[in-house]
Amino acid sequence: MFSETKSLGPAWVKEFLLRQESFWDVNDTGMGSWIWRKLLKLRPVARHFIRMEIHNSQTVRFWTDIWHPLGRLIDITGAVGTQKLGVQRSTRVFEVWDGINWNFRRCRDRQLCNMIQQIEQHHLDFDLSTPDVVLWKNSSSDYREWFSAVDTWHLIRHTRPTQEWSKVIWFPQGVPRFSFITWLAVKNRLSTGDRMRTWGHTQGCIFCGEPNETRDHLFFACPYTFTVWIEVVGTLLGRDPDPYWENTLDHLTHHRFDFLTSILIRLVFQVTIYMVWRERNDRKHMKNPRQASQLAKVIDKPVRNRITSTKYTQKPRLRGLLQLWFTAHM
């Protein structure tokens, strides 16, 4: 059903239900069997588990299939993108790509230019003799040519209700944007170099040059980020900082910190992850690099702001919060 070379469904599905449309694009018209309509409803979930690998580029639809790390391109530009690039919605990749160059209409739209740049930088293994294939996600970073119900189930049930580490992420004094990025880091969902490799990109550590950029390297096995972490965490851990991700997360999850320390340690952990990730992205976009001590100052500020906004002076349980922050950094 997803590829035209290896059809999974009966021919009439393509003939009468899909017609010329992509599975991702077809409207639910009320036609078809119960299971067909269930499948249509499950598209938002399925989207995360499938991608197309381009070889002869004959079957993959440029706009509506998932073949680029950005996701479905039509979701980025909206329908207007088809006019701006001069590429129709139903166009297959081979109609705009000759194996070397992409043929788009010139455009000045910044968002589109950005997207084109990313398309051009995305490496494709052009091979006329090999059909395009559908890949199924079998683990958090691995795609294969076969579908495994068990693996998919394990990936879906990832949203288990209680995780021990969840208290490191969500707490009343937390700040949503810092919590969220930390949640992504804990789930290893940040698009670090190792995760992009399955897409054909290679990305080393932008701070130290280590060839394999992983979540564990960034937080905080990298000499640069570890220097930052040592500086910002001060004495809050109650022991020397550890460069290993698992050890840090384990300590934050299981160590019995006193109440005020437990607030500060989670806050500084989250702000550090956020700012390291931002610094990493800034450097990728050619912004001036910050030294470790500068980044430590950038981290200190939102932590102090959050301490102030808790109105700690008026709340007996929080009294001493700022004092503790200072003491930990003497």
From the list 4-12, 93-101, 119-127, 220-228, the region that binds Zn ion by CB under 5 A is 220-228
Q: Is 207 in the site for Zn ion (CB under 5 A)?
A: yes
Which residues, in sequence order, are bridge partners of residue 53?
Answer: 133
Nearest to 54 by CA among 88, 105, 3, 6: 3
Which one of 70, 124, 196, 208 is in contact with Zn ion (CB under 5 A)?
208
Give, in order, the Cα–Cα distances in Å from 144 to each of 117, 130, 280: 27, 16, 30
Q: What is the rounded CA–CA span in Å between residue 33 and residue 38?
A: 9
Inter-residue contact 325 to 264 (CB < 8 Å) = yes
Shortest Å, Cβ 258 to Zn ion:
33
26 or 208, CB closer to Zn ion?
Answer: 208
Q: What is the rounded CA–CA span in Å between residue 156 and residue 293?
A: 41
Shortest Å, Cβ 127 to Zn ion:
35
Q: Is 205 in the site for Zn ion (CB under 5 A)?
A: yes
Q: Is 210 in the site for Zn ion (CB under 5 A)?
A: yes
Furthest-apart CA pair in the chain: how many Å?
A: 73
Shortest Å, Cβ 279 to Zn ion:
12
From the list 129-137, 216-224, 249-257, 270-278, the region that binds Zn ion by CB under 5 A is 216-224
Shortest Å, Cβ 212 to Zn ion:
10
Q: Is 13 in the site for Zn ion (CB under 5 A)?
A: no
138 or 214, CB closer to Zn ion?
Answer: 214
Which residues would be at the binding site for Zn ion (CB under 5 A)? 205, 207-208, 210, 222
